[in-house]
Amino acid sequence: MSLPYGPLISRILVDRLVDLSMFTPVEINATYDSHTFSSMGYVQVGMKCVKKDYVKARVETAKPTKVSADLAALLVQDTDELKTRILVMERGLETLQDVVEKVFHIQKDTSTDVGKLCIAMTSIKHQGISTVNRLIKQIDSLKGGVSSSNTDLAISVQTSYPNLSKNFELSILQLLWEDYQHMKYFLGDH
């Protein structure tokens, strides 16, 4: 084998119009032994010279990965944690449902003083927003708490919860907005 970059360097010099006429061409008749060639980061594959990193990267990507017993135990542990967090979210939804029911009870109560009604409506609106924000934080922490090493379950949880979080936030905010509009109409602010 001859110097691997010699022809390339010569071609670049010729293309850049570097005058090489004052230099006498030197013919390299020496060859590298396999130890010198491998120390430069190359291996010979068949009749071609290939960079070691390229071969190593191709070999590493071809290996299938297996789920070890440790990863399976972590997956079970994370599943239990997911169940716990979902139960907490369910309690938060029940709290939100209670807040929304208060809005409906206030709408039905026609003998209430208008000033008290406005104060109660504002309080309920703030409670609803804080409950929604708390639930969104719990959903986001649920998404962040799952490690990516737990293969398919982790991937599905990490990809589905942001959508759930956004859809949940939009539906709750839309419900609160509709209730707010009903209250405005009820109070005579058409």
Beta strand segments in 99-177, E: none
| Domains in the chain with CATH codes | 6-62 (no CATH), 69-186 (1.20.58)
> How many residues belong to the chain?
190
Which of 40-44, 50-54, 82-86 is predicted with the least confidence, judged by mean pLDDT? Answer: 50-54
Task: Indicate whether 161 pLDDT > 50.
Answer: yes
pLDDT above 70 covers a percentage of the chain that reads: 46
C-alpha span between 172 and 134 (Å, rounded): 12
pLDDT for residue 45: 74
pLDDT band at 147 (very low <50, low <70, confident <90, very high): very low
C-alpha span between 115 and 79 (Å, rounded): 49
- Tokens found for residue 8: 């390339």
pLDDT band at 61 (very low <50, low <70, confident <90, very high): low
What are 120-128's contacts with CB under 8 Å, separation 24+?
Answer: 121/180, 121/183, 124/99, 125/176, 125/180, 127/99, 128/96, 128/99, 128/100, 128/172, 128/176
C-alpha span between 27 and 16 (Å, rounded): 22
pLDDT for residue 24: 75
Residue type, 135: L
pLDDT for residue 153: 57
How much is the pTM? 0.26
Cα-based angle 121, 180, 176 (whole degrees, multiple of 5): 100
